[in-house]
Structure 1
């Protein structure tokens, strides 16, 4: 094993990387007893006990990864060094999981009943021909909850039977664990189910809710999201192609919620002519 100390990443820099296509893998390498006694994980985290790191490195292609233990001491640092020695680009999270908590940054509630925190890819199933909620929920899962998740779209009448056959979690259909509740849409319910608290995601939830429940007054981009979603659906007969096409749209909306809401369009031909 390479004995050089691997580099670290701060809790805030780690959170800022999430919600983008370039986000790293995240591995929860807390020792078994410490993992079991906690009811929460970092966003995007997959469980990998320290003793399983060598097997994981053999079974997966090398990639960028952030690892965390409880406090960011020897367990996390040793895990990053082990992965770096295997050709990965690994960093350890400063302060570990408790550093995220102390900084008031987002964490997730474990939900084994939803197939989360098991170390295996979760499975999700819903109605075919998705438009808004049935795209927004997979985006949220892939970007913040489980990047290895698998998604299935089937005819409405087959959702629950196929959910049992595939051992998948149904969503956005009445009777599912993740569905509309009152004025909230399934995106809101999913955020609450994993207790993911983030101001930008809450802003995005208003956009999704307004577009999905015909309340465009909730946020300025609601009408735009509805129009783009309907247009993309018209362009893509394949539901998974529709999902892939829409992921960058939600990435952009999250970026707008995070840091671009105050920016305005400032095209002014007269001032440009004067400057010329």
Structure 2
């Protein structure tokens, strides 16, 4: 699978599993992971394949060669819809892959992000995050970004604002979107921005979405018409799920999926307009 279709699958609930099967020394020395990557050592692939329900999976190594090809064969034999990420993490190997393919892979690389051992994000274990209860905008946008692009196994917790930092220390979770947290507002930037910067996650659609989130979260609605809609939906969902913050998160994730899809179309100049004109329709006219 080339990087372009690989990237297109992120930002929704049905993203395929991403398995990092690089040899251990290469995995350890590398500062980056592909989006939502889960570490699976080569010697563990066979056991993984039979111990998990088969599903779609994208497998990558350093250059996209035999190191990832062999696990794909193993997974397919166990009923998985597995594919190798062409070019791997590095976008091919100079002197081995053909020049046009390398140029294409590196011009539009597979989405990747920086490992953050200080935040518990290494691809090995699910990360843990905590923020204040009654989430609304930034407190929902951040989990969406983490689940859809960083770590789809991530766990999220909510606590009274006065207890967040203490509970983060006790539980080993990363506090976010609260004063004094490792991930929070900096100047005009929101916690969503802080995650994009902290993980060095580069994507034009996510940058546009960050603008919408930032302006909704800081009440600068006149700067982005989509922000007013996000604010309205967020406040309403919070009211509908006033007793269950996790239910609020689950209900809001599809909203951000939809916004991300809209941002992608916008960035790609593929805007779809709503041009239905009822005054031009004739009742009873043949279809």
- What TM-score do the two structures reach when normalised by structure 1? 0.92
1:98 maps onto 2:90 in alignment: yes
- Secondary structure of the equivalent of 2:255? helix
Query: How far apart are the structure 2 equivalents of 1:151 and 1:274?
Result: 52
Query: How far apart are the structure 2 equivalents of 1:217 and 1:199?
Result: 22
CA separation of 1:274/1:62 partners in 2, compared to 1, >3 Å: closer, same or farther? closer
When the two chains are superposed, the root-mean-square deviation of aligned CA atoms in Å is 1.7
- What TM-score do the two structures reach when normalised by structure 2? 0.89
1:121 maps onto 2:126 in alignment: yes
Question: C-alpha displacement at 1:86, in angstroms?
Answer: 2.3
Query: How far apart are the structure 1 equivalents of 2:284 and 2:89?
Result: 53
8 Å contact kept, 1:206–1:218: no
8 Å contact kept, 2:4–2:108: no
Structure 1: 5+ residue stretches without partners: 1-8
- Within a 5 Å distance, the mapping from 1:211-230 to structure 2 comes to 211-230=216-235
8 Å contact kept, 1:233–1:242: yes
Partner of 1:138: 143
Question: C-alpha displacement at 1:203, in angstroms?
Answer: 0.6
Partner of 2:15: 23
- Among candidates 48, 54, 77, match of residue 56 of structure 1: 48
CA separation of 1:266/1:176 partners in 2, compared to 1, >3 Å: closer, same or farther? same
Query: How far apart are the structure 1 equivalents of 2:63 and 2:6?
Result: 15
Segments of 4+ moved more than 3 angstroms: 273-276
Query: How far apart are the structure 1 equivalents of 2:253 and 2:53?
Result: 23
Query: How far apart are the structure 2 equivalents of 1:202 and 1:221?
Result: 14
1:43 maps onto 2:35 in alignment: yes
Partner of 2:271: 262
Query: How far apart are the structure 1 equivalents of 2:263 and 2:225?
Result: 11
